[in-house]
Copies of this chain bind each other. A is one copy, B any other.
Amino acid sequence: MVQIPNTPTSADVARLAGVSRATVSYVLNNTSAVRISEPTRRRVHEAARELGYVPHAAARSLRAGHSRMVLMPAPAIPVGPLYSGFLNELQWALGRLDYTVVQYGTVGLQGDEAARAWAELRPVAVLVPGAELGTQGVRVLKRSGARAVVTLGPERVDGAHALLMDHAAVGQCAGAHLHGRGRRRIGVVVPEESGLEAYSRPRLTGVRQALHGTDAAVTELPLAYTEESAARLAAKWRELALDAVFAYNDEYAMLLMRALQDEGLRIPEDVAVIGADDLMLGRLLRPRLSTVHVELPSGRDLAELVDRAVRDPGGEPEVHRVLGASVVRREST
């Protein structure tokens, strides 16, 4: 008995239960404005179960004129435990507020292209990490019904709420710390991997800011995440004559530290090394790695901001500085 498994609709449920589609809708949504007799309810639920009925989200939100979907572009780069944890908390918190979080796989779409693609889904809110979104993009999203657009990035965008995560603060911490430890010739690792510029540029800038007006000099150090690249950099270290380095993050720091040690350089005596992100990793190195601890916003807070914005779409865009940075000094500086 092979049935063609045609997707059951509410009409099928209605037919099987011997009621109208309206009644089905009332029962399955527990509509309070209307009283349905207990026997009817039972029949409807029974029929729905039997058919394996699942409502059609698109049809529903088409009719309703809005959805509860919060859209985020899926990050294209491997993402650390920090951001992962933040994302989980956010999803959980938004889930509690009855939103559905969807990460949209935006590959190769540029700026406004991407915004348009997102807009086709008519999300009620859009959260955009990084700087992928311009004023134009915000406009597109809003025009297509997004009641809240929130950017998580270095600078605010007109018309959107902003969680300002200024990674310059990370660099500032690191720069000030190194200077305070008496270092004056300071290298800053800039990863060659693409997609990281959004973080690496501001971190570099931050170091420059912290050292501006002092007698310290900053040297930019391009570095790919490979042993060869690190070895190359280490090999010319003595001629660079740097006495400290801010290595972008703990992983690059470990890579470079290893290479420097293999070159016979002592840490921290010859070179002070500091990373960022405060990964477990750094505590396990010898010497223990100093790092800049980065505090992301709480997912719960962001969820509440989203909810607030959705409920009051006319409100002034909120702008929060949310990136806490503080040095954790260990043994490498």
Chain A residues within CB distance 8 Å of chain B: 5, 7-8, 52, 54-59, 61-62, 67, 74, 76-81, 84-85, 87-88, 91-92, 94-95, 100-105, 107-108, 116-117, 119-122, 139-140, 142-145, 225-227, 251, 254-255, 258, 280-281, 283-284
* A110 smallest CB distance to B (angstroms): 13
Tell me whether B54 and A140 are in contact (CB under 8 A). yes
Q: 6 shortest A-B CB distances, which residue pairs?
A: A101-B105, A58-B58, A78-B84, A103-B103, A91-B105, A57-B120
Residues of chain B with a CB closer than 8 A to A80's CB: 78
- Pick from B61, B79, B95, B281: contact of A254, CB under 8 Å: B281
Given contacts A78-B85, A79-B84, A140-B54, contact A107 B120 (CB under 8 A): no
Tell me whether B91 and A74 are in contact (CB under 8 A). yes
- The residue of chain B having its C-beta at the shortest distance from the C-beta of A279 within the complex is B251
Given contacts A77-B84, A79-B84, contact A56 B122 (CB under 8 A): yes
- The residue of chain B having its C-beta at the shortest distance from the C-beta of A84 within the complex is B78
- The residue of chain B having its C-beta at the shortest distance from the C-beta of A85 within the complex is B78
Residues of chain B with a CB closer than 8 A to A79's CB: 78-79, 84
A52, A54, A84, A95, most chain B CB atoms within 10 A: A54
Tell me whether B280 and A225 are in contact (CB under 8 A). yes
Tell me whether B283 and A143 are in contact (CB under 8 A). no
Residues of chain B with a CB closer than 8 A to A61's CB: 58
A131 to B111, alpha carbons, bound, how many Å?
36
New contact pairs (20) apart from A101-B105, A103-B105, CB-CB < 8 Å: A52-B139, A52-B144, A54-B116, A54-B119, A54-B140, A54-B144, A58-B61, A58-B67, A58-B121, A58-B122, A62-B62, A74-B91, A79-B84, A91-B105, A91-B107, A92-B107, A95-B105, A95-B107, A100-B104, A226-B280
